[in-house]
Chains A and B, each alone.
Chain A
């Protein structure tokens, strides 16, 4: 029936945005649980626990499968976001002289593309610093395991020449993530048509809690590592 086909329709692009975005929320929760190993245990035990976790994450087959899903989700979320933004720009070639966007919509909802771009820039730098080094770089060894713990701790350290910049950049990126999630979480459900008088307020509250808590905990880790090494 459909003349242009579901894959080309504007709604399908939003389904992709929602599904990949919500999957990436799950990824964030998992990633955070792992990162918290960095500060939950200190000393030798913490180092061992985090390195075992890093070893598990890079070798366990199911996790590997999930990681490919995550890479694909990031890729589709970014490409889809760019395509949507370009179409949206085309839909209003001549803008308003005076536009009072703040009167009717939240700032975060109007700036998802900018927030997403900040997160993408962070992601590239983040993966280059840790992910690339862990997979392909020269890593120190501790008790027979790649010592990611030391790499992370030394990176967010006052002894590292860019340590402070890294901590500040990390915190700012998490702030962008918080704003992105504060709109994106509940927006994903709306795009998929999940809306109900009873459950939508719960989804909105859960989304807001997720958007505040997850980036705050992520940001706390490098701050904690930096301060404890002063």
Chain B
């Protein structure tokens, strides 16, 4: 396959950045998108240039590191996959592919396609945990009965890998899907109940402080989410935040 890549290049956080065009040829349809990017970088290095910086880690679709906005969509045109699980057979010979970093003031560009997603870490630090005493005799988690449907839903919320596709996709750069998944995975389980009210308030506060946008309920985040996190999590967070704020003393 022969392709034309239009790639966002930016030397550092303060550089203005621009789109640069690279022709690549001999791309195999069996390559993953990241392997194709490796090929591009190999070509750039051979030509004596600076390779394109992009995030990646496991390349198995489970870590959430890869983060490209491909042809106007987070992780490209396919559903339920991260960029590393997107294969070149999803494109046609002769295609022009535009590749950009996640765009949000809360996710500043570090270099080229790599952005700083530590805003998500700070949201988790604000309340995305349960406080348990781990010294001495800990309770067996399985000793607490949890209804199957509830456990499944909590697990579905917990599959969020924090890749940031929801923020990148949202026209408002809102982090509601991510934060609501992290709120829900605890709100649905008995172990999450003692801190349920303070957790949702702290995490929403931190989300706002990081400068993410507001939710317009377009639903684009759920469509583009590689893990299929759904909008019922956002409704649950809206509900929990309302009741936590109303009952606060």
Chain A interface residues toward B at CB < 8 A = 1-4, 6, 8-15, 84, 87-88, 90-101, 103-106, 109-110, 112, 183, 186-187, 190-195, 197
Kindly list chain A residues whose C-beta atoms are within 8 Å of the C-beta of B204.
Answer: 9-11
B211 x A90 contact (CB < 8 A): yes
A193 — nearest CB in chain B belongs to which residue? B239
In whole Å, how far is A143's beta carbon from the nearest beta carbon of chain B? 49
B72 x A191 contact (CB < 8 A): no
Contact A104 to B231, CB < 8 A, known contacts A3-B205, A87-B213: no
Lowest 6 A-B CB distances belong to which pairs?
A193-B239, A100-B72, A91-B213, A195-B235, A88-B172, A193-B238
- Interface of chain B residues 156 through 200 with chain A (CB within 8 A): 169, 171-174, 197-198
In the assembled complex, the Cα of A12 lies from the Cα of B172 at a distance in Å of 16
B72 x A96 contact (CB < 8 A): yes
Listed by A's residue number, 20 A-B pairs whose Cβ atoms lie within 8 Å are: A11-B242, A15-B238, A88-B213, A90-B211, A90-B213, A91-B172, A91-B212, A96-B100, A98-B72, A100-B71, A103-B72, A103-B223, A104-B224, A105-B171, A109-B219, A112-B216, A183-B218, A193-B235, A195-B231, A197-B232
B206 — nearest CB in chain A belongs to which residue? A3
A194 x B235 contact (CB < 8 A): yes
**B8, CB-defined interface residue at 8 Å:** yes
**B125, CB-defined interface residue at 8 Å:** no
A104 x B242 contact (CB < 8 A): no
Kindly list chain A residues whose C-beta atoms are within 8 Å of the C-beta of B235.
Answer: 190, 193-195
The main secondary structure of chain B at its interface with chain A is mixed
Among A8, A84, A95, the residue within 8 A (CB) of B214 is A84
B197 x A183 contact (CB < 8 A): no
Among B171, B197, B223, the residue within 8 A (CB) of A88 is B171
B232 x A104 contact (CB < 8 A): no
Query: 17 other contacts beyond A98-B98, A191-B217, with CB at 8 A cut-off?
Result: A1-B201, A2-B201, A2-B245, A4-B205, A9-B204, A9-B205, A10-B215, A11-B242, A88-B172, A91-B106, A96-B100, A99-B72, A106-B218, A109-B217, A109-B218, A190-B231, A194-B235
In whole Å, how far is B30's beta carbon from the nearest beta carbon of chain A? 25
Kindly list chain B residues whose C-beta atoms are within 8 Å of the C-beta of A9.
Answer: 204-205, 208, 241, 245
Q: Name the residue in B214, B223, B231 with the highest tally of chain A Cβ atoms < 10 Å from its Cβ.
A: B214
Kindly list chain B residues whose C-beta atoms are within 8 Å of the C-beta of A100.
Answer: 71-73
Chain B interface residues toward A at CB < 8 A = 6, 8, 17, 19, 69, 71-73, 77, 98, 100, 103-106, 169, 171-174, 197-198, 201-202, 204-205, 207-209, 211-220, 223-224, 231-232, 234-242, 244-245, 248
Kindly list chain A residues whose C-beta atoms are within 8 Å of the C-beta of B77.
Answer: 103
Contact A110 to B171, CB < 8 A, known contacts A4-B209, A10-B207, A104-B223: yes
In the assembled complex, the Cα of A190 lies from the Cα of B209 at a distance in Å of 23
Kindly list chain B residues whose C-beta atoms are within 8 Å of the C-beta of A12.
Answer: 245
Kindly list chain A residues whose C-beta atoms are within 8 Å of the C-beta of B241.
Answer: 9, 11
In the assembled complex, the Cα of A208 lies from the Cα of B123 at a distance in Å of 36
A2 x B248 contact (CB < 8 A): yes
In whole Å, how far is A110's beta carbon from the nearest beta carbon of chain B? 6
A7 — nearest CB in chain B belongs to which residue? B245
A4 x B208 contact (CB < 8 A): yes
In whole Å, how far is A94's beta carbon from the nearest beta carbon of chain B? 6
Kindly list chain A residues whose C-beta atoms are within 8 Å of the C-beta of B234.
Answer: 190
Kindly list chain A residues whose C-beta atoms are within 8 Å of the C-beta of B98.
Answer: 97-98
A92 x B238 contact (CB < 8 A): no
B236 x A93 contact (CB < 8 A): no
A190 x B217 contact (CB < 8 A): yes
Kindly list chain B residues whose C-beta atoms are within 8 Å of the C-beta of A87.
Answer: 172, 213-214
In the assembled complex, the Cα of A6 lies from the Cα of B204 at a distance in Å of 10
In the assembled complex, the Cα of A187 lies from the Cα of B216 at a distance in Å of 8
A92 x B201 contact (CB < 8 A): no
In the assembled complex, the Cα of A36 lies from the Cα of B137 at a distance in Å of 72
